[in-house]
Structures are given as C-alpha cells and as structure tokens.
Amino acid sequence: MFGFFKKKPAPPPQTTEPAGPVLSVLLLEGDSYPLDALQRELTKKQIAGKFPTEMELGDKGILSFNLDGAIIALALMPAPYPEADLDGPISTTWMWPKNSPIQIVKRHRSFLLITMALGNGNPVERRLIATAVTALAATQPGVMAVYWPEGTLIHYPPLFVEMAKEMQSPELPPLYLWVDLRAGRNEDGTTALFTTGLTPLGHKEIEIPRIDMEVGEVREWLISIMYYLLEKGPILLDGQTIGISADHQVKIRHLPSKIGHPGKVIRLEP
C-alpha cells in the first residue's frame, strides 16, 4: 500500500532553522550570466519596499548587497548543478508547461547560486525577499530553470516570475514555489502525498499515506491547510481530526516519517 512512500526525497542542502540561509538556484544555458545587467536592474527596483544598499560586483563573479538586514549574494558557478539533486524534481514536477520538455534542463552548463543570510523578518517574510530577488534574476537571458532546494522543486522561469509578482504578501505567500506537494497512486487507486519545504517555515512536514481523492483535489485541500498553519500556528494537534468535508474526517497523528524526513511529521489518515 505504501510503496510510493518509500521514495525518499533528496534532503534540502541547507539548514532548516528559521534563521538559517535561504538558497535558490538558476540553471543556466551557457557558461555566463549578466551580473552587471542585474546590478543595474537592482539599482532601479525596490524589493519589499526598499532599495538594496552596499551593492558590490566583485572580480570573482559575485554580486552582493544588503536588504532589510539581510546579506544577499549571487555567485556564478562554472559547472552543472549536481545531477542527483535534480533527477527527482525533474521527474515529478507537475507545474512545468506540457509544451516545453523539461528534460532539456539537464543540458544546463552552469548555475547561479543565490544566498540570503541573516534578515529581520520571520521565515515567510525572509523567503518573500529571497523569492523577489530570484524572480528578478530569472528574467535575465539564458535562465533555463529555477530550483528551490528547500522544497526540492524545479520551476519554469516565466511561471516562477509571474507567481512571485502576484503573491508577494505574508498573508498570501507563493507556497507552490516553496513547498513540494509530491503525489502518487497507491496500488488500490488511492492517492498518496507528502510535503517537502514546510520545515524551513517552522512547521512539521505533512504525509498522507492513503486518501480517496484525486491528486488535484488533495493538493488544493492541503494548500489551504498550509495557509491556515501559517496564519494560526502549529494547531494540528496529535489525536485531533480535521474535516475534508462535512461528512469526511481524517485523523491527525504526529509520527516518525515514512519517507525519511527528520523528526516527526503530521500524518493524516482516514
């Protein structure tokens, strides 16, 4: 029954502490990236209502600046991103456009590593800033994909940019860009789903080993739960129930992960 849940996702390559660094990656078609053009864009753009300060483009291909107490650095890496980290996200992505074959992403030649350290906001506010910087950087030519390591998610750049612009508030953050809702089918035809990316936001990951709902319906239901958690805090208590509908309830359990997430997760079971 739980064969799908034996597929362990690649662990996030960064700390999951709320105050730890936030990483994003741009996969690049060629061996270069126009950091000078991005620098000019940043001097004209406000991010989270503020202009970057202390901006510097070093001779080693690193652009750095300060923003609202955070130190942000963009560094060109002259090699492909580790293939093992991308295989799972590439094979399971569900938001990539059907008319653009995602496998071509494997041909990228280099990547831009975007790192945000420190910062004055809470986990959501800090990731909104990191997302805005990443979206601006993704508009430059030669960007093949955006990779969000915390959620092991790979995104189509125009879609990432559009969602980042539309959902830039702490009340409605772009969770689809940050949290993987990886789903599959059990042998009995029911849906199995797990999240990756809630831990950096200060919450337990969620696992649903078996539920009699279509994948799209489960994702929509779960995303509403995630927004509720961000608004109200960790209120899904062990032993309680939560309703899918007026006559359909599932039990909340805090148990060790079935797929290898560290610590306990929130498991939702019929």
Output the pLDDT for position 252. 96
Q: Model's pTM, two decimal places?
A: 0.90
Among 224, 196, 199, 222, smallest CA distance to 211 is for 222
Which residue ranges in the chain fall short of pLDDT 50?
1-18
